[in-house]
Amino acid sequence: MVQTRSGRGSTSSEPSLPTEKHRRRSKLKEDIEGRPPREEIDEYAGAEKRKIDKRDSISKEEKEQRNGTRGHGKTEASSSRSHKSDEAPPQKAVKQDVTENEEKGEDKRRDDSTPPENDKGRMTRKIRRTIEEFGSLPLEGTPVAEHLEASPEALLAMCLDVMLKSTRISHDLAQKAVKTVIDAGYHDINVLSKTTWDDRVEVVARGGYNRYRERGASMMGDLIELVNSKYEGDLNNLLKKADYNPRRVWELIKEIKGLGDLATDIFFDNAQAVWPVLAPHVDARSLDTAEEVGIGRDVNAMYEVLNRDPVEMSKLALGLSNARLARRQGAIKQIN
Angle at the Cα of 239 from the Cα atoms of 233 and 241, rounded to 5 degrees: 85
Contact 209, 168 (CB under 8 A): no
Q: Could you read off the pLDDT of 17-54 as tens digits, one per residue?
A: 555 555 665 555 555 455 555 555 455 556 666 666 66
Measured CA distances, 278 to 26, 134, 283 (Å):
119, 22, 12
42-76 b/e with 16+ CB inside 10 Å = b?
eeeeeeeeeeeeeeeeeeeeeeeeeeeeeeeeeee
Q: Is residue 88 pLDDT above 50, yes or no?
A: no
Q: Could you read off the pLDDT of 122-148 as tens digits, one per residue?
A: 999 999 999 999 999 999 989 999 889
Domain boundaries, the chain: 121-137+276-336, 142-272
Nearest partner of 234 among 159, 165, 161, 138, judged by Cα? 159
Q: Could you read off the pLDDT of 166-186 as tens digits, one per residue?
A: 877 888 888 899 999 999 999
Can you give the pLDDT at residue 27? 57
Contact 257, 270 (CB under 8 A): no
98-107, 288-297, 314-323: which range is least confident on average? 98-107
Q: Where are the alpha helices (DSSP H) in 232-308?
A: 236-241, 246-253, 261-271, 284-293, 299-305
CA distance 73 to 89: 20
Task: Indicate the CATH number for domain 142-272.
Answer: 1.10.340.30
CA distance 306 to 78: 66
Q: Mind giving me the DSSP string for 93-108? A: HHHHHHHHHHHHHHHH
Nearest partner of 177 among 222, 210, 144, 155, judged by Cα? 210
**Radius of gyration of the chain from its Cα atoms, rounded to whole angstroms:** 49
**Cα 314 versus chain centre, distance:** 29
Can you give the pLDDT at residue 322? 95
Q: Average pLDDT over the chain, rounded to whole?
A: 79
